[in-house]
């Protein structure tokens, strides 16, 4: 298992290259947005569909889900509680802090890490489905209750989110093909495999470009900085620690244990920032949480893989 650590080198390298491309504007204005859209709408769906063709639905149901859920729930409750009773935030704000404390970047970082480090993206699909079908709707429900945004079509959009999100739709189609045994013709799969081959690299470049924010970090007093530290700490350290403890108690096999802990140790997803930016909230604070957690995760993920490898 210690041999997986060198697999982080290309992850760091391509992420750093993406940052440099954005920092020096080598691809022109708006390139980061274009590359991000290409990643989520084309490249990552191709990766997921091609890798899940041989994955039946039964493979998604295992004890690892219980382990991951334990860490996620504990981190979320802690995030809710700290934001509500320590920092005295209103409902929508502590809902966001609680969700940021447990919502993993399973898309543009989780999939590359799973493919490059674990060699299997099956468990990341479970995380993607759970977050899209349950966690994001729960957060938006709390935001709607408190902020009462005027967009009446949002609930319809939310209901159609699983089929409108390419990575989720591709995952479902891949698992459907793996369960039924049906396979697309080779002529159809050839371009899919070509896109999948470039998908991980493109996703990491897009991730690196996102680390160069167009606006400075949000100002604030010591309380806001401590709140940021609490959210990032819960996400990167408390959630994987609890997931690891639950996994050991359940006696998970080492490959599955590593997959669940790595999934729990992923940084905060940009989806949380995107959701909060639609409401009258301090979205820059959420963006800063995403940015800091992603930078710290470049080191913490490697350390966590090393620790699990020693068990």
Q: What is the pLDDT of residues 8-39, one digit of tens each?
A: 788 888 888 988 998 888 888 888 778 877 88
Task: Return d(Cα 198, Cα 59) in angstroms, integer.
Answer: 26
Residue 151: the pLDDT is 54
Name which of 98-107, 163-172, 231-240 the model is least confident about.
163-172
How high does pLDDT run on average in the chain?
82
For residue 107, is pLDDT > 80?
no
User: Closest by alpha carbon to 261, among 236, 295, 225?
Assistant: 236
Name which of 54-68, 92-106, 144-158 the model is least confident about.
144-158
Contact call for residues 71 and 246 (beta carbons, < 8 A) = yes
18: domain CATH number is 1.20.1530.20
Contact call for residues 270 and 290 (beta carbons, < 8 A) = yes
Q: What is the pLDDT of residues 186-234, one digit of tens each?
A: 888 999 988 888 888 888 888 788 777 665 555 554 457 889 999 999 9
User: Closest by alpha carbon to 167, among 222, 119, 110?
Assistant: 110
Tally of domains in the chain: 1
Per-residue tokens: 105: 């970047």
What does the pLDDT average to over 228-249?
96
Percentage, residues of the chain above pLDDT 90? 25
What does the pLDDT average to over 41-46?
84
Residue 2: pLDDT band (50, 70, 90) is: very low
User: Closest by alpha carbon to 310, among 265, 246, 258, 267?
Assistant: 258
Residue 42: pLDDT band (50, 70, 90) is: confident
Q: Which long-range contacts (CB under 8 A, 24 or more apart) does 91-95 make?
A: 91/142, 91/145, 91/146, 92/142, 92/143, 92/145, 92/146, 92/147, 92/279, 92/281, 93/281, 93/282, 95/139, 95/142, 95/143, 95/146
Residue 252: the pLDDT is 94
Residue 181: pLDDT band (50, 70, 90) is: confident
Name which of 176-180, 195-199, 208-212, 299-303 the model is least confident about.
208-212
For residue 155, is pLDDT > 80?
no
Q: Note down the domain range covering 25.
A: 2-310
| Torsion angle, alpha carbons of 288, 289, 290, 292, to 10 | 80
- Stated pTM of the model: 0.78
Contact call for residues 207 and 18 (beta carbons, < 8 A) = yes
User: Closest by alpha carbon to 112, among 257, 291, 262?
Assistant: 262
Task: Return d(Cα 126, Cα 294) in angstroms, integer.
Answer: 21
Residue 149: pLDDT band (50, 70, 90) is: very low
What does the pLDDT average to over 95-117?
87
What does the pLDDT average to over 64-81?
94
Residue 162 CB partners (closer than 8 Å, separation 6+): 129, 132, 133, 168, 169, 172
What does the pLDDT average to over 278-299?
81
């Amino acid at each position: 298992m210690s041999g997986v650590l060198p697999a982080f080198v290309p992850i760091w390298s391509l992420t750093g290259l993406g940052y440099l491309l954005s920092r020096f504007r080598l691809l022109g204005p708006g390139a980061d947005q274009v590359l991000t859209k290409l990643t989520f709408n084309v490249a990552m769906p191709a990766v997921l569909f091609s890798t899940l063709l041989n994955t039946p639905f039964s493979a998604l149901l295992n004890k690892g889900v219980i382990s991951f859920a334990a860490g996620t729930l504990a981190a979320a409750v802690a995030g809710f509680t700290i934001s509500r009773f320590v920092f005295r935030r209103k409902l929508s704000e502590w809902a966001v802090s609680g969700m940021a404390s447990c919502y993993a970047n399973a898309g543009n970082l989780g999939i590359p890490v799973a493919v490059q480090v674990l060699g299997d993206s099956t468990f990341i699909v479970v995380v993607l489905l759970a977050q899209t079908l349950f966690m994001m709707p729960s957060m938006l429900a709390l935001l709607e209750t408190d902020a009462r945004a005027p967009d009446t079509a949002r609930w319809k959009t939310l209901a159609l989110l699983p089929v409108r999100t390419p990575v989720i739709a591709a995952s479902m189609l891949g698992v459907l093909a793996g369960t039924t045994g049906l396979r697309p013709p080779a002529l159809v799969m050839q371009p899919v495999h070509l896109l999948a081959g470039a998908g991980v690299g493109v996703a990491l470049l897009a991730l690196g470009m996102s680390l160069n924010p167009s606006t400075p970090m949000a100002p604030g007093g010591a309380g806001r900085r401590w709140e940021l530290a609490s959210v990032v700490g819960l996400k990167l350290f408390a959630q994987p620690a609890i997931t690891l403890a639950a996994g050991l108690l359940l006696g998970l096999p080492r490959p599955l244990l590593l997959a669940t802990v790595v999934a729990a140790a992923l940084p905060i997803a940009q989806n949380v920032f995107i959701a909060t930016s639609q409401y009258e909230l301090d979205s820059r604070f959420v963006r800063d949480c995403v940015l800091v957690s992603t930078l710290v995760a470049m080191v913490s993920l490697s350390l966590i893989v090393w620790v699990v490898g020693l068990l």
